[in-house]
Amino acid sequence: DRTVHPTALFGIDGLLSDEEREIRATVRRLCDKELRPHLPEWFDKGGIPARELARQFGSIGVLGMHLEGYGCAGMGAVSYGLACLELEAADSGLRSLVSVQGSLAMFAIWKHGSEEQKQQWLPAMARGEAIGCFGLTEPDFGSDPAGMRTRARRDGADWVLSGTKMWITNGSVADVAVVWARTDDGIRGFLVPAGTPGFQARDIERKLSLRASVTSELVLDEVRLPAGAMLPEARGLSGPLSCLNEARFGIVFGAIGAALDCLETTIDYVGERRVFDRPLASYQLTQQKLADMTLEAGKGLLLAIHLGRLKEAGTITPEQVSVGKLNNVREAIDIARTCRTLLGANGITLEYPVIRHAANLESVLTYEGTSEVHSLVIGRALTGASAFQ
Ligand code: TGC
Ligand code: FAD
């Protein structure tokens, strides 16, 4: 057999440490054995066993794995990225569960929380015994979170929150919601435990993308919280945006995972499928498609690893994360669609993961900053002129 894996053409393994390869293998094993077989069904019925999944992810240490202390493993950025890659090779919804838990909810508490908040939540969240969500987007404010209407006002020592958050991953299964709200002192973050009177999470139904993921609306109707519910260290929009950098970084790797899963599936398929009396793999048009997709997936993975090394060195900028998110998600969705053409009619069913990845990537293109927002962040960096004001 003279075939090589697409990533071997780029010598990717040689760029990784033994520990990084080991983490990638551990996550892949869990996905292959326990999760992948269920994904068509979870996607089809639009539901996942979120609690059980969180515990499984906790047991292999991927929840908040890039954070230090409080039961977290303190691993490097590339290790975290590779975990995201393997999770998203299974399904974007699984990577989303882990991203929102570790990079949004846990990171917000780890970076901006009080010692008491960290002790209360982080170890249980790292084990997957407590689930978190992150409420920034509102029905009328997605790309422009600065316009948010959710408000927190003081009443004596307490805070009282009112407003609506929309499209919140893990919303109805979360034990704690990190909710961003406007105060007299600018935008601040609050920890809202599930079950607090006036707080409700309702699932968003009939999604045709990211079906193996819980997406909810959060309604806050005069929710009373003690003074200690506020994250003391986050002030202004940079509080939530600092968390987005973390989750966007995971997507830079994750999107390539989805793309590689499509590509591997397709390479197998075209080897078996015969058209006009020859294997589909033997046609020049097929090989051109496979070669072009391999170039984009490999370049995307090199970019992801490079950004990971910059993150580990502590020099990565938000604009560099935008470069990775825009490029890799855009290329991944293109690869998924091209793979779908090679699978013909079989490509439209859940028998193969390709259309599921293609549908999921529509959400990934939109959340964590749309492709247009990231283009404009890059445009602002290049020209000095902001398209947002
Ligand atoms: P702008 O004037 O640029 O900035 C306001 C303040 O924030 C700071 N800042 C950042 N800080 C850290 N990281 C970043 N990436 C930052 N970007 C900006 C900035 O320095 C400033 O600080 P200060 O102290 O001077 O006040 O703000 P703007 O209003 O012009 O907006 C910029 C824009 C459009 C890029 C921003 O609003 C944006 O990124 N919009 C997109 C919103 C978004 O991505 N939402 C995602 C919600 S969470 C989600 O989707 C989860 S999906 C599930 C999953 O991940 O799997
Ligand atoms: P809009 O902001 O209304 O954008 C509509 C269109 O206008 C887009 O094409 C956009 O690029 C374009 N546009 C916006 N601004 C400009 C501009 N200045 N110039 C040109 N074009 C522009 N949010 C959370 O807070 N937490 C979560 O856990 C979460 N999970 C999500 C899960 C899923 C499955 C999905 C789909 C979304 C999730 N989101 C979450 C919300 C997500 O972050 C937003 O959908 C996203 O930020 C875009 O906002 P919007 O949908 O309101 O689109």
Ligand nearest to the CA of 235: 1
DSSP helix/strand/coil, 284:
helix
- Gap between the Cα atoms of 178 and 190, Å rounded: 6
Pocket of ligand 2, candidates 96, 138, 167: which has the most ligand atoms within 8 Å of its Cβ, to mutate? 167
Question: Which amino acid is residue 141, in one-letter code?
Answer: F
Whether ipTM > 0.90 holds is: yes
Judge whether 357 and 264 are in contact, CB under 8 Å: no
Q: Which residues are catalytic?
A: 368
pLDDT, tens only, 319-349: 999 999 999 999 999 999 999 999 999 999 9
> Tens of pLDDT along 89-138?
999 999 999 999 999 999 999 999 999 999 999 999 999 999 999 999 99
How confident is the model at residue 1, as a pLDDT? 76
What confidence score (pLDDT) does residue 2 get? 82
The Cα 305–Cα 207 span in angstroms is: 32
Q: CA angle, corner 262, sides to 79 and 85, nearest 5?
A: 10
Could you tell me if the CB of 179 is within 6 A of ligand 2?
Answer: no
* CA distance linking residue 169 with residue 95, whole number of Å: 11
What pTM value is reported for the model?
A: 0.98
Distance 69 CA to ligand 1 centre (A): 26
Ligand 2 atom, smallest distance to 207 CA? 34
Residues lower than pLDDT 50 in the chain: none
Q: How many CB atoms lie within 10 A of CB 251?
A: 29
| Tokens read off for 231 | 């994250």
Mutate-to-test residue for ligand 1 from 101, 216, 244, highest number of ligand atoms within 8 A of CB = 244
Burial of 17 from C-beta contacts in 10 A (0-12 / 13-18 / 19+): exposed
Rounded to whole angstroms, how far apart are CA atoms 70 and 126?
8
Question: What is the model's pLDDT at position 389?
Answer: 83
